[in-house]
Amino acid sequence: MIDDTRQVAMKMSNRDLEICKLIEQGFKGTELAAKYDISRSRVYQIYKTYLAKKHEEETAPPLKKLLTVRMRNAMVIIFKDDSIYTDPARIMSLTLRDYCRYQNVGKYALESLVKGMIALGYVKKKDKWLKW
């Protein structure tokens, strides 16, 4: 159900979410195309995009779900590997000060990394990794 996937909702327009909700309620693509003045194929494109994003969110590693998009992108650039989210030891190989040296890693992005690492039990609140 659409309401269960908050992350997907944040990435789609209200109109597109409404279309997806109506499709899941059993409305036909032709009905929705007429209602929103778009083509039937566009209706199904929107729904297909929604399903892909929903699948990506459901299968993403737990840490990746907790990070801001900016931090996700920075992690892939820093470590040159999309599987970094499942390797806390590699993540902790850099200090928080090291992360700040990378472009687009600011306080808010770094805060999401710290909160995610603590929430998943990779570090404790008094861990030396959290010290500047």
Tens digits of residue pLDDT in 9-48: 557 899 999 999 999 999 999 999 999 999 999 999 999 9
Among 19, 42, 59, residue at a domain's last position: 59
Count Cβ atoms below 10 Å from residue 67 Cβ, excluding itself: 21
44 & 75 share domain: no
18 & 35 share domain: yes
Contact 46, 40 (CB under 8 A): no
Distance CA 115, CA 110 (A): 9
Handedness of CA 71, 75, 78, 80 (dihedral sign): negative
7 & 43 share domain: yes
Domains held by the chain: number: 2
Contact 73, 67 (CB under 8 A): no
83-101 tens-digit pLDDT: 899 999 999 999 999 999 9
Could you list the residue range(s) of the whole structural domain that residue 17 is in?
Answer: 2-59
Does the predicted model carry a pTM greater than 0.85?
A: no
- Tokens describing residue 53: 């994003």
